[in-house]
Structure 1
Amino acid sequence: MLNKTDLRENLSIPVSDDAGQIEVFQNQTLRPILKLQNEIFLMLFKDYALGKISDFNFLTLEKKLNFIEQSLRKDHTLKNIFIGMTIGMLTAEEMEVYISGKNVFNKRIITMLTERLKSQMEK
Structure 2
Amino acid sequence: MPDKKDLRERLSLPVYDNSSDVEIFQNQVLRPILKLQNEIYLILFRDYALRKISDFNALQTEKKLIFIDQSLQKDNALRNTFIGMTVGMLTSDEMVIYLSDTKAYNKRIIAMLSERLKSQVELT
Q: TM-score range by the shorter chain?
A: over 0.9
**Partner of 1:13 in structure 2?**
13
Shift in Å at residue 111 of structure 1?
0.3
Structure 1 letter corresponding to 2:73: R
Match of 2:74 in 1: 74
Report the equivalent of 1:54. Answer: 54
Amino acid at match of 1:20: S
Percent identical: 66
Unaligned runs of 5+ in 1: none
Secondary structure in structure 2 of the residue aligned to 1:54: coil
Task: State whether structure 2 residue 95 is matched by structure 1 residue 95.
Answer: yes
How many pairs were matched up?
123
In structure 2, the partner of 1:114 is 114
Q: Report the Cα distance in structure 2 between the residues aligned to 1:19 and 1:78, rounded to whole angstroms.
A: 30
Between stretches 12-21 and 109-118, larger displacement belongs to: 12-21
For residue 122 of structure 2, give the secondary structure of its aligned residue in structure 1: coil
Counterpart-to-counterpart distance in 2, 1:84 and 1:122: 25
State the TM-score, normalizing by the size of structure 1. Answer: 0.98
CA shift digits 1:21-66 (9 cap, x unpaired) = 1000000000000000000000000000000000000000000000
Aligned residue identity for 1:12: S
Amino acid in the other structure paired with 2:19: A
CA distance in 2, matches of 1:13, 1:74: 31
Q: Which runs of 5+ in 2 are unaligned?
A: none
Q: What secondary structure is seen at the aligned counterpart in 2 of 1:31?
A: helix
How many angstroms apart in 1 are the aligned matches of 2:20 and 2:103?
16
Query: Partners in 2 of 1:76 and 1:23 — Cα distance?
Result: 24
Counterpart residue number, 2:36: 36
* Letter of the structure 1 residue corresponding to residue 27 of structure 2: N
In structure 1, distance between residues paired with 2:117 and 2:77: 17
